[in-house]
Structure 1
């Protein structure tokens, strides 16, 4: 069921068992799993009903997502909050204010996080869970996303493609599956034959969260407002949502802002800190000057069959490969992970957690609800430069051992062209110690008994895999936990 928040009268109270705030992959996955378990779920989404038309939603995004973006953003992406990729000719990719969230534009590239991502190592705090704790849920996520099984190994895919898995000293050959187009948009795809809007979930569009009311360690309700149909819009109605449990699933930037606006979960000044992404250098950073792969190896990395055509299955799944430094190399050199495309090109790496890279509240107010806007600072650290310098040298050595050669751009050249690749990570990170993070291993806010957070804002380290597949995995795990916690 889908309804419009402006049709809910002023002062009304919406009562439910679980309230989920946000309709991206994190929120919709949790909502689907909980309603399937028989729970009464209300999902609220701030955007007005644009019938999957992202272009029409952008003026609202400018009004409500704007603010100040500084640090590396100031030179590389000053319009990050609203219009990403300066001088980029494609549509906005970073953040969406529309039913379905960023699932309305993502490419579906999927792979579990590597086990080392969860480890404590120099510059990386470690997670309070291990990769093995997520493996059963990764399998469920693969089924939910209609992937071609849950085996991402290079040898397995080499057998499928009748290709060969390249072995590069000190590097892992990592395979990524791409979800088929019919299953990318979580607002319009079907679950058990129906969309989330056709399911028993009470989906309320045009329902912007204003405040999380809390005290004595519990959330007592949410203040929610709708917008009218004017251009530009203004506040229309205000109502309250009361639930047994609340799940904040608005993305790493908005999750932090909502907690800061409500002064919730920030007893140790951790909310908003450790903003990470996968910085992407889009220019020619890595140049293969002498080939080093056989044709059969190149086909595997490109996801091609023996006839040279891209492999795909009946659900539209495709596959490609990347080279990443092994866990041993990351430990030995105290660096993060990265990607190397087999044919060279750009550079894409795991940013190290940095407390000065963060989300705060700006002094300016949004023109619709009069709330403080976002102030986001993107700051790299010396460890990020070390990751680039060490990983490129390791890659060159490995390629040379195969009688090939490779050349690289300088770090300063790379840094000047870095953009956020749309993967917003950290800001409410998972930790066993409340002084070092915002949520516990079950994604519950440390200081609030009935508020949970979903999405990549809870990641304690970014890893190198695209985050959405793990976001979906964590939401499946969260739904299971909440179903047990709520009891019969």
Structure 2
């Protein structure tokens, strides 16, 4: 069932086996795993069924570090579905090396190997209704295309998969509305977590934007509000301890990370048609697959550098008709109505021959043709070195519900620039060896720490702040995603990441959430 706090009753107390804070990708994934079970689930969402400016004002942060685009409502959203109402739905597992020990990072890594997550990666993809790329060169070979034969000690190719239905709220709304054991409570902002004398969560304090108040009690609690908001809530729950909850070692909110993105080289293909044949996106069975160029594990170990991958960005877009058509398709995928729907439709039919050619490429050739004109750039995505001073803390300013704002201090070490420079030079050398293209590094950016910091951007991939570890001296949560210091409080999502790799994080976040659902089913059954 789906209700709004205070709308249908004056209920002041809610009880369930599990209370989940946040109905974004992770919260919805866990709730869906409990549909039609004998366990009661309370899913608390600060926003409403559709986005609104009142809820989004609660996302405000005080930024005292590097410019961070993802702190705004363009990168986060308080609404049923969370950021899945905004994103493109790109899935890509973390690379193998990200789960191995990398002493040169100077911090602890993942407390388990990637093999543990393998079945959950598959289940996460099933939730997004997509088929993952099989890996290797199979997509190219299956379409009669010769793949780039990189030196495996230098580079490798990967494909990300894009969900045809990325909005989880739209995908699950019907099942949630009809469910008898999962209750979604909208306009229900958790403002405080209350701890009993045994160190366990006793209840949650909930407020609505209309002034309603309630409490929620459960056997187990899950924080699934994202890296920024989850840390903020723990730090703001100071009734028992001024340091907040689970923060005896001062690690809550620390090691905040995002992926670093920027153009790093200009690409001049030897043969433009061949280049597009290799690097245009595929679309097979309704799923888009995007090729990536990734630094090898061997080169990372040899040079003791961070994980980096990249893709090719075409600086001149397709025609007005094609761009309008792509925008309309995006709204259809998310089941949203564009405010400029009629003008978009008009633009999409201005050049019908070009639209027909584009449709032929998609339906018959299974390719999404990029622009054949203008410059091509290599865009790099790098993980960042986890740093304790890159963190979420509390501002002295409060929001409209009386909670302290999150204070964001995003810090980027120069190790990211060094890794991106090594990656760019390796791409240059390998593409020259294979006669694919001349790669001209943007030296003014990758050689200068100042220009690098000025040019880089985040990509709305907030991670860290509640990092996993085997012991509480190195992190906030254990390998089961439970808070080290609070036995009935768990965390779901990318805030768990101790290190991040270069891959889009949501796939791994959902895999961890599905794994957590299995763990809690086992605990509830005992």
TM-score (norm. length: structure 2): 0.81
Structure 2 match to 1:24: 24
**For structure 2, which runs of at least 5 residues remain unmatched after alignment?**
238-243, 313-375
Counterpart of 1:419 in 2: which secondary structure?
coil
Instruction: Decide whether aligned partners of structure 1 residues 358 and 428 sit closer, same or farther in structure 2, where only a CA change above 3 A counts.
Output: same
Q: How far apart are the structure 1 equivalents of 2:310 and 2:121?
A: 24
Is the CA contact 2:45–2:189 (under 8 Å) kept in the aligned structure 1?
yes
Determine if contact 1:25/1:186 at 8 Å carries over to the other structure.
yes
Quote the offset at 1:330 in angstroms.
1.1
Could you say which residue in structure 1 is the equivalent of 2:319? none
CA contact (8 A) 2:463 2:495 kept: yes
Deviation at 1:11, TM superposition (A): 7.6
Deviations 1:44-99 (Å, cap 9, x if unpaired)? 0011x3x43x3xx234322x2223112212xxx4x7533xxxxxxxxx42111111
Alignment partners' CA distance in 1, 2:485 and 2:9: 32
1:187–1:196 Cα contact (<8 Å) kept = no
Match of 2:53 among 47, 54, 58: 58
Q: 2:384 aligns with which of 334, 345, 351?
A: 351
Matching residue of 1:189: 171
Match of 1:326 in 2: 296
Who is 2:414 aligned against?
382
Secondary structure of the residue that 2:169 maps to in structure 1?
coil
- What does residue range 90-101 of structure 1 map to in structure 2 within 5 Å? 92-101=73-82
Q: Alpha carbons of 1:145 and 1:9: their partners in 2 closer, same or farther (altered >3 Å)?
A: closer
Alpha-carbon displacement from aligned partner over 1:81-123 (angstroms, at most 9, x marks no partner): 33xxxxxxxxx42111111100001101111111111122111
1:173 aligned to 136, 157, 161, which one? Answer: 157
Per-residue CA deviation, residues 402-461 of structure 1 (Å, 9 max, x unaligned), is 234211222343421222101001000110011111111110000111100001000111
**Which region of structure 1 is more displaced relative to structure 2, 406-415 or 418-427?**
406-415
1:267 — aligned with what?
248
2:70 is the alignment partner of 1:70: no
Alignment of 1:127 with 2:102, yes or no, is no
Q: Secondary structure at the match of 1:154?
A: coil
Q: Give 1:292 deviation, angstroms.
A: 7.6
**1:132 Cα offset (Å):** 0.4
1:255 maps to: 230
Instruction: Tell me the matched-pair count.
Output: 445
CA gap of 1:151–1:245, structure 2 versus 1, over 3 A, is: same
Counterpart for residue 372 of structure 1: 404
Q: For residue 85 of structure 1, what is the aligned residue in structure 2?
A: none
Are 2:441 and 1:408 equivalent residues in the alignment? yes
Which residue pairs with 2:352 in the alignment?
Answer: none
For residues 316-362 of structure 1, the C-alpha deviation after alignment (integer angstroms, 9 at most, x for no partner) is 31111110101111111111122222453433211111111100000
**404-413 vs 321-330, which moves further:** 404-413
Range with bigger deviation, 197-206 or 125-134 = 197-206
In 2: Cα distance, 1:16 partner to 1:294 partner: 59
Q: Which residue of 1 aligns with 2:204?
A: 222
The alpha-carbon distance between structure 1 residues 290 and 161, as it changes in their structure 2 partners (threshold 3 A), is closer
- What secondary structure sits across from 2:208 in the alignment? strand
How far residue 151 of structure 1 moved from its aligned partner, in angstroms, is 4.4
Return the alpha-carbon distance in structure 1 between the equivalents of residues 136 and 276 of structure 2. 12
**Aligned-residue offset at 1:463:** 1.1
Aligned-partner Cα distance in 1 for 2:269–2:140: 24
Aligned to 2:393: 360
Matched, 1:160 2:142: yes
Contact 1:28/1:196 (8 A) holds in 2: no
- Residue 199 of structure 1 and its aligned partner are, at CA, apart by 2.6
8 Å CA contact 1:9–1:237 kept in 2: the answer is no
Q: Distance in 2 between matches of 1:142 and 1:455?
A: 15
1:288 to 234, 250, 267: 267
Contact 1:266 1:438 in 2 (8 A): yes
- The residue number in structure 2 matching 1:466 is 504
Q: Cα distance 1:300–1:402, how it changes in 2: closer, same or farther (>3 A)?
A: closer
Structure 1 160/303 Cα, relative in aligned 2: closer, same or farther at 3 Å?
Answer: farther
Partners of 1:224 and 1:241 within 8 A in 2: yes
Q: Which of structures 1 and 2 has the bigger CA Rg?
A: 2
Please state whether the residue corresponding to 2:115 is helix, strand or coil.
helix
Q: Secondary structure at the match of 2:485?
A: coil
Query: Does 2:277 match 1:299?
Result: yes
Counterparts of 1:154 and 1:294, CA distance in 2: 22
Is there any run of 5+ residues in structure 1 with no aligned partner, and where? 83-91, 229-235, 305-310
Report what 1:89 is aligned to: none
State the distance in 2 between where 1:339 and 1:474 align.
23
Which SS does the other structure have where 1:473 is aligned? Answer: helix
Distance 1:105 1:142 in 2: 18
Residues 12-51 of structure 1, C-alpha deviation per residue, up to 9 Å, x if partnerless?
211110110101110000011023443210100011x3x4
Q: Which residue of 2 aligns with 1:116?
A: 97
Q: Give the structure 2 partner of residue 429 of structure 1.
A: 467
Is 1:241 the counterpart of 2:216? The answer is yes
